[in-house]
């Protein structure tokens, strides 16, 4: 068994690094703890928290003070809570939860910031509508700007009074949309000439009106306009409804903490230790907040410790502070950990070359030799064959899995065997309109984020698969209270009813459930189905109408047939695709190969990794990887925007390659002759993949 023999003196060195952190904690010296992939960063964070409790816990308890530990995700919060055990002294949470908790009671101050924000937005909107000379904007508002002042006012009044009618017709084709408004808008010459521009004008008018109304109501101290609320479900502000979301919460927090010294003092006096996990992906405004707190502590001569834990090279999200930490919060003490506790030597060699900085990892194990890395080039159509080759070569099965990294969610869906479902959902008018919600609501592992219809489908498939699994305890299908009351013969009847549900597709299965529901007068069976579907009406036709309404809202009569057809395709898709999708959602794939996006593997580790790579990443990142390899040998000469891009790609490559414990293969599916040298500098010989 390799990777088991820890070298004694390295173990000792590792302890000394922890001691360095501990002594910084004791002396309230702010630190950045940088540790490469697989170094045991979270372990160090937890050790530090334990150390604070052990050495300073009594003092904290006495002064009623708490330690703040900030994580990047809810999943990380739960993991740390679990590993740490219960402690009253530590507040572990995401940054948003913590910030809101700290500022939410400053209602008056928040309201002032909110009013300022709305006034700023309002100013911008009015400028865009009337004066902004920027080409694109001038074009959109040209016709409106050409109206006389009186006509402008008339138009605004008219369209605000017709708001409902406007939205009702919003999605109609330009031709039909014009027909609806032609008559009533004839006096405003050319305003309907370009429907897209017209909608832009109207939306801007509405927004201005909303904001002005909101400011009036705040001034008049109307109900619901006295406090600002934070809404975490969607990342969209609703300023005129007094609702802010994630990004604005951070903006407001920075402002309020900047403006009110008393708040700074309260925060630092009740939380003398602040530890931030994954600092590299933390918004730089959060680092600014920390800097303000640290500076204020110094000014009033109170003590606070701020510790940033992370790795600049694993910064893969855009608004993360990354290596700019040093600019935004200067004079931090850097503590580096160079050990690798994850991978075999061959992998470590490669990832060291990718990061190419002062953290040149060495394995903590004496028996780390081995592992293998190979870089292949091939064609797009080679992907499947390449994966299958290693599936055999590495004796992959459901226990010894192969993890394959691809760039996009769509590719994950394709390889994982549910591309039809992905495509059908993406072609519904709801997800066309809310394109940004498709991936989250269809592919998230967090059920609370899954969309309404995907969630309903999920519940039905779960129900079916539990029903078919003999190991599922019967009580799973019942309310506990009902279950204990039932006698055997009643129970048996219900089970027979449940087992008589049949369908070769999801649609047929649901139809069967609902037919049995209509036929049966068994109240327990009906109760189970009620719990499962939670609908208003229980016929298959009603069910389909419900889906139509959700996935194709505000249908025009002529579009109904087309929508029904699309819905039918969704319901009649191959059931095996739904099973694959379901297993993907619950992250319990029964397959021996599991697919991920590069980004989605953050923090994970796998024995066998294949990475599928190509030049481009979407439309905005043409030549992402090719230009990275092209520039690799002259990395020190790149500057500005080019350097930012270079580092982004390097970080993503580092994160993905460093997931591997033992075997790593990369298949590059474009021609590499222009940048072969760069690849070879990192990966050595480039192999040609042949079938």
Partner DNA sequence: ACCTTGTGAATTTTT
Partner DNA sequence: TTCACAAGGT
Binding site for DNA (CB under 7 A): 72-75, 94-97, 173-175, 178, 193-197, 203, 232, 235, 246-247, 316-318, 407-410, 426, 432-433, 435-436, 439-440, 444, 446, 597, 599-600, 617-621
Phi/psi of residue 329, nearest 5 degrees: -130, 80
Taking the complex as a whole, how short is the minimal distance between the CB of residue 522 and DNA, in angstroms?
A: 41
- Measured from the CB atom, is 361 or 615 closer to DNA? 615
| CB count in 10 Å sphere of residue 320 | 24
Beta carbons of 685 and 376 less than 8 angstroms apart? no
Residue of 154, 218, 225 whose CA lies nearest to 191: 154
Euclidean distance between CA atoms 163 and 156, whole angstroms: 11
**Please, are residues 339 and 10 in contact by the beta-carbon 8 Å criterion?**
yes
Tokens of 481: 């209270």
Q: How far is the CB of 452 from DNA (least distance, A)?
A: 17
Q: What is the DSSP letter of 674?
A: T
CB of 141 to DNA, least distance (A): 12
Among 634, 306, 645, 580, residue whose Cα is nearest residue 443: 580
User: Both tokens of residue 617?
Assistant: 């990443």
Nearer to DNA, 543 or 625 (CB): 625
Shortest Å distance, C-beta 276 to DNA: 14
How far apart are CB 138 and DNA at their closest, in Å?
11
Residues 286/95, Cβ–Cβ less than 8 Å: yes
- Smallest gap from Cβ 645 to DNA, in A, equals 11
Q: Is the CB of 320 or the CB of 507 nearer to DNA?
A: 320
Structural contact between residues 445 and 594, judged by C-beta atoms closer than 8 angstroms: no
Contact 401, 373 (CB under 8 A): no
Q: Which is nearer to DNA, 190 or 349 (CB)?
A: 190
When the beta carbons of 94 and 662 are compared against DNA, the nearer one is 94
Q: How far is CA 150 from CA 142, 198, 212, 213, in A?
A: 16, 18, 20, 21
3-state SS record for 612-626: EECCCECCCECCHHH
Q: How many CB atoms neighbour CB 562 within 10 A?
A: 12
The number of residues in the chain equals 691
At its nearest, how many Å lie between DNA and the CB of residue 196?
5
Instruction: Select from 75, 72, 33 the least CA-distant residue to 51.
Output: 33
CB of 96 to DNA, least distance (A): 3
Closer of 27 and 445 to DNA (Cβ): 445
> Least CB distance from residue 418 to DNA, whole Å?
14
Nearer to DNA, 173 or 554 (CB): 173
Residue whose CB is less far from DNA, 3 or 611: 611
Q: How far apart are CA 452 and CA 550, in angstroms?
A: 8
Indicate the residue among 177 and 477 with the shorter CB distance to DNA: 177
Q: Taking the alpha carbons of 80, 82, 87, 88 in that order, is the dihedral positive or negative?
A: positive
Strands 243-244 and 229-230: what pairing?
parallel
């Amino acid at each position: 068994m390799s990777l088991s023999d820890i070298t004694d003196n390295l173990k000792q060195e590792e302890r000394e690094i922890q001691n360095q952190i501990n002594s910084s904690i004791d002396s309230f010296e702010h630190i950045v703890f940088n540790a490469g992939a697989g170094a045991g960063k979270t372990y160090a964070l937890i050790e530090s928290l334990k150390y604070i409790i052990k050495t300073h816990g009594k003092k904290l308890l006495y002064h009623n003070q708490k330690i703040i530990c900030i994580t990047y995700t809810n999943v990380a919060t739960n993991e740390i809570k679990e590993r740490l055990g219960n402690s009253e002294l530590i507040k572990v949470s995401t940054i948003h939860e913590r910030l809101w908790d700290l500022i939410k009671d400053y209602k008056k101050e928040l309201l002032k910031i909110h009013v300022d924000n709305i006034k700023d937005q309002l100013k911008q909107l009015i400028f865009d509508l009337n004066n902004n000379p920027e080409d694109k904007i001038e074009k959109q508002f040209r016709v409106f700007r050409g109206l006389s002042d009186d006509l402008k006012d008339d138009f605004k009044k008219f369209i605000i009074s017709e708001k409902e009618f406007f939205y009702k017709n919003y999605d109609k084709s330009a031709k039909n949309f014009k027909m609806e408004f032609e008559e009533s808008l004839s006096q405003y010459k050319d305003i309907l000439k370009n429907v897209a521009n017209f909608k832009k004008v109207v939306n801007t008018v509405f927004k201005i009106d909303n904001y002005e109304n909101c400011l009036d109501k705040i001034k008049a101290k109307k109900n619901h306009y006295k406090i600002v609320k934070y809404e975490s479900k969607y990342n969209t502000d609703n300023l005129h409804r007094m609702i802010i979301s994630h990004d604005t919460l951070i903006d407001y927090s920075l402002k309020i903490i900047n403006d009110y010294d008393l708040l700074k003092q309260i925060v630092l006096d009740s939380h003398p230790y602040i530890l931030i996990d994954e600092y590299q992906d933390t918004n730089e405004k959060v680092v600014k907040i920390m800097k303000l707190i640290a500076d204020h502590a110094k000014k009033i001569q109170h003590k606070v410790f701020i510790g940033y834990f992370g790795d600049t090279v694993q910064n893969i999200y855009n608004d993360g502070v990354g290596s700019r930490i040093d600019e935004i919060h200067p004079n931090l003490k850097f503590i580096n950990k160079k050990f690798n506790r994850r991978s075999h030597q061959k992998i470590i060699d490669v990832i060291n070359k990718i990061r190419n900085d002062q953290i040149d990892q060495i394995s903590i194990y004496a028996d780390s030799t081995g592992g293998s890395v190979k870089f292949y080039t091939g064609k797009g159509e080679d992907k499947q064959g390449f994966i299958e080759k290693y599936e055999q070569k590495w004796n992959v099965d459901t226990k010894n899995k192969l993890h394959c990294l691809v760039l996009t969610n769509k590719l994950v869906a394709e390889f994982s065997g549910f591309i039809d479902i992905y495509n059908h959902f993406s072609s519904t008018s709801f997800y066309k309109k809310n394109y940004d919600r498709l991936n989250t609501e269809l592919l998230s592992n967090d059920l609370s984020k899954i969309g309404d219809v995907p969630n309903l489908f999920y519940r039905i498939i779960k129900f079916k698969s539990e029903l078919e699994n003999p190991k599922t305890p019967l009580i799973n299908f019942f309310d506990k209270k009902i279950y204990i009351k039932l006698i055997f013969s009643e129970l048996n009847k219900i089970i027979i009813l449940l087992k008589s549900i049949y369908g070769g597709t999801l649609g047929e299965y649901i139809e069967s459930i609902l037919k049995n529901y209509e036929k049966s007068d068994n109240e327990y069976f009906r109760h189970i189905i009620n719990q499962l579907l939670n609908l208003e009406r229980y016929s298959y036709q009603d069910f389909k109408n419900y889906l139509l309404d959700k996935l194709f809202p505000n249908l025009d009569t002529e579009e109904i047939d087309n929508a029904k057809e699309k819905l039918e395709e969704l319901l009649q898709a191959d059931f095996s695709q739904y099973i694959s999708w379901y297993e993907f959602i619950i992250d319990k794939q029964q397959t021996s190969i599991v697919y991920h996006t590069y980004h989605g593997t953050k923090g994970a580790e796998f024995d066998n990794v294949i990475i599928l790579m190509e030049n481009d990443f979407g439309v905005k990142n043409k030549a992402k990887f090719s230009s990275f390899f092209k520039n690799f040998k002259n990395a020190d000469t790149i500057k500005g925007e080019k350097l930012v891009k270079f580092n982004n790609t390097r970080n993503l490559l580092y994160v993905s390659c460093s997931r591997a414990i033992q075997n790593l293969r990369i298949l590059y599916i474009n021609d590499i002759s222009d940048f072969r040298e760069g690849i070879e500098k990192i990966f050595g010989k480039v192999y040609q993949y042949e079938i």
